[in-house]
Every structure is written in structure tokens, then in C-alpha cells.
Amino acid sequence: MTETAETRPRISARLAGIAESATLAVDAKAKALKAAGRPVIGLGAGEPDFPTPSYIVDAAVAAAQDPVNHRYSPAGGLPVLKEAIAAKTLRDSGYEISPGSVLVTNGGKQAVFQAFASIVDPGDEVLLPSPYWTTYPEAITLAGGVPVAVFAGAERGYKVDVDLLEAARSNRTKVLVLCSPSNPTGAVYTPEETERIGRWALEHGIWVVTDEIYEHLVYGDAEFTPVLRVVPELADTTIVLNGVAKTYAMTGWRVGWLVGPTDVVKAATNFQSHLTSNVANVSQRAALAAVSGDLSAVADMRTAFDRRRRLVVDLLRGIDGVEVPEPKGAFYAYPSVEGLLGRTFRGRTPQTSAELAALVLEEVEVAVVPGEAFGPSGFLRLSYATSDENLTEAVGRMAELLG
């Protein structure tokens, strides 16, 4: 049958395939219930609960008053910000880059999308350690690529190794995604693990897209390892993703960046010149103050996150049927709840983590994100970027329901 105007799908196949961001959906549902007067506690969203440090806000206020910032600026980012990002990369990651290898994007999310759009062709396979952040498979698929999930469960601390990756490699494999510290699991790869995986990618000519947005949020003896510091030979086939959202409590300002080989950065900048043009200048000036300042504000936030991390893990471990490896970074706990599925709570018997998350929201008004958003069922993600009181109350309510 030939298509007519009536039978033609209204929404393109490309966009019809995209699901709403599950984490934002949980957050929106929790906020709506709260607005309706319900005492909901949201542990869904991945955003620091602190205000942006005042010296950063002050820089933005000054920028807003300067007419130079009222105009278009270079699509790929303010040159002064790119220089500051290069200096910050040397300070925090220990290797040199040129400002020309930086593209400033509208949040880290746009960097994720543009990274895959730059190097993935239809049919290319992208190895995606799972549980994965919910945006990666969508960005890979939109670029025409095929996400190949490589699952590592709680018993392995949610970390893949070269054997698992090698088993998933094919002659269509083009890219490997790394995200350490990890959203959603809080896992942090050691320097040795990072180097082994990096060398394996190098050996097989596989590109690496490494998301380092949680670089400053590591706890205890965990250490953030930039893959390019331990395997510098990967520089020509690696795209680094980063941004100010998590380090400086700047989720609403929408500034991220990617660092890559100059041909990739050029292609991605051309794309951005049509897509969005420059990131808002006021936000770029705020990001400039952030990355060129010191790291004392994030040190204070890290102390609070670390305390909350230990609190939430202790409380979760008190619930029979919940298994939670210690998260070493970011601000998420990722318990396995397989031991709870099939049990009956208040007359309901959840068989999946999505059903369990719905039960927890409806019965005790705590919003958590089910594992289905990040890979297989059987897990929940709890963000501990909220007050100690909220965490104690929220996990206490969960324990009462599930204990």
C-alpha cells in the first residue's frame, strides 16, 4: 500500500523511538505530587541540593550587565572559557590539551549527543557498560548506532572488565563508553582497571567516549582516573565529556563540554553552529568563574555527600532482601532489590523493580528510579544529593514498607 498524507506516521520513526528520560519523569511525578500537597520525598533527580557558589553567581550578574554578552558569540564557545577548560584539564586530569580541542555545549547532555553524532554511523556498535546512564542508548540510537549493553551486576561492584568487553566485541564495534564515577551505580574504576580497559580499546582500534562529569565526587580511598592520563596513546580516538553541573551545583546553568581530536571537534562545532549556536554567554561566564576558581566549594559539598552516602547505605543494608555495594563516587546508591521481588507488601506483589518503585511511591511517597531506566530490572537508584533528614525519613519509610 502506498503511503498517503493520512496514513503517513505523524511522528518520525527516529523520534518516536525515544522514551522520556525516566529520571526526569520520576522527578516530575514527585514534584507534581508535592505540589498537590503530598509529603513526597524525591530521590529521583541527579542534582546537588546546594545553591551555586556565590562567586559564580556574582560573575554571571556582572556578565548580564555587560552588553558584549548580549550578542551572539562563537558557536563553539567563548575562547577565554576554552582556555580555562584546557588549564583545568591539566590541573585536574594531568595532561595537556589545546583550547582548539574543546567544544562548549548546552550542558553535558548536548556533549553526549554530539559525541555520538560525530563518530557513529548507522550500524556501528557501541559497547555500553550496564547499568548505564539512561541518556546514552538514546543518543547512540539517534546517531544510527546500535548500543550493545555489557552487564555487570552488584556482585562485581557493577564494573565490567576486559573479558566481558571482549565477549561483546564484534567487527562492527566502533566505540566503548566509560562513565566513572558512574551514574547510576556510583562505581569508580581503579587506575589499574581503567588502564587495562583503555589498552584493550587501543589494541582493537575502538574509540572511547569517557564521561568524567563526576570527577570530583569520589569518596574514601577511591580515586578518579582520567583514561587519557593512564593511556595517553588513546588521545586521537577519545572524546572526553564533562561539565560544571555536578562539581559546582550548576545543573540549571547548562554548560558542559567535550574534548576530542580536532577533526571531531570541528565536525561537532559545525553541527552545533546549526543546532543551537553558542551556549548562553551569561552561563559561559559563570562557568568561566567556576573552572578558573579553586575547588574549595566542591570539597565542602563532597564532605556532605560522603556523610549522606554512608547514611543511606547503612539504612538500606538494614532492609532484608536488599544488597548494595558501597558506592565510591557520584551521588547515587544502586541497591539490588531482586531479593524483594515476588514478596507481598500491603497486598501487592511486585515482580519487577518498576513495579516496586511504583509501590514505594504510592504507599510511602518516596520517589526512586527503577533499574529498568538503566538496564535490567532488579535494581533501584536512589540519589543521596538531598538532606540527611530527607534521607533518614525516606529510607525509614521504605524500611517500614519493605522490612
Of 112 and 188, CB closest to ligand PMP = 112
Contacts of 299 (CB under 8 A, 6+ apart): none
Question: How near is the Cβ of 46 to ligand PMP at its closest, in Å?
Answer: 4
Question: How near is the Cβ of 352 to ligand PMP at its closest, in Å?
Answer: 23
Quote the CA–CA distance of 77 and 80 in Å, as a whole number: 8
Of 180 and 237, CB closest to ligand PMP = 180
Question: How near is the Cβ of 39 to ligand PMP at its closest, in Å?
Answer: 26
Of 88 and 169, CB closest to ligand PMP = 88
Question: How near is the Cβ of 367 to ligand PMP at its closest, in Å?
Answer: 16
Coil vs helix vs strand at 348 = strand
Of 350 and 375, CB closest to ligand PMP = 375
Of 134 and 237, CB closest to ligand PMP = 134
Question: How near is the Cβ of 111 to ligand PMP at its closest, in Å?
Answer: 8
Of 228 and 319, CB closest to ligand PMP = 228
Question: How near is the Cβ of 134 to ligand PMP at its closest, in Å?
Answer: 9
If phi > 0 it is left, if psi is from -120 to 50 it is alpha, else beta; for residue 330 that is: left
Side-chain half-sphere of 311: how many Cα atoms within 13 Å? 22
Question: How near is the Cβ of 258 to ligand PMP at its closest, in Å?
Answer: 11
Binding residues for ligand PMP, rule: CB under 6 A, are 46, 107-109, 112, 133, 179, 183, 211, 213, 243, 245, 251, 256
Burial category of 305 from C-beta neighbours within 10 Å (exposed 0-12, middle 13-18, buried 19 and up)? buried
Q: Are strands 41-42 and 366-367 parallel, antiparallel or unpaired?
A: parallel
Quote the CA–CA distance of 189 and 194 in Å, as a whole number: 6
Of 45 and 319, CB closest to ligand PMP = 45
Question: How near is the Cβ of 1 to ligand PMP at its closest, in Å?
Answer: 43
Beta-ladder partners of 369: 381
| φ, ψ dihedrals at 379, nearest 5° | -140, 160
Quote the CA–CA distance of 38 and 358 in Å, as a whole number: 15
Closest by CA to 143, choosing from 122, 171, 164, is: 122
Of 213 and 315, CB closest to ligand PMP = 213
Of 23 and 173, CB closest to ligand PMP = 23
Of 183 and 237, CB closest to ligand PMP = 183
Is the N-terminal amide bond of 184 cis, ω within 30° of 0? yes
Q: Are 366 and 398 in contact (CB under 8 A)?
A: yes
Question: How near is the Cβ of 399 to ligand PMP at its closest, in Å?
Answer: 27
Question: How near is the Cβ of 180 to ligand PMP at its closest, in Å?
Answer: 10
Q: Return the C-alpha cell found at 54.
A: 556565590
User: In this structure, is the dihedral angle defined by the CA atoms of residues 256, 260, 262 and 266, taken in order, positive or negative?
Assistant: negative
DSSP 8-state class, residue 124:
-
Beta-ladder partners of 175: 126, 207
Q: Are 211 and 112 in contact (CB under 8 A)?
A: yes
Q: Are 31 and 42 in contact (CB under 8 A)?
A: yes
| φ, ψ dihedrals at 310, nearest 5° | -70, -35
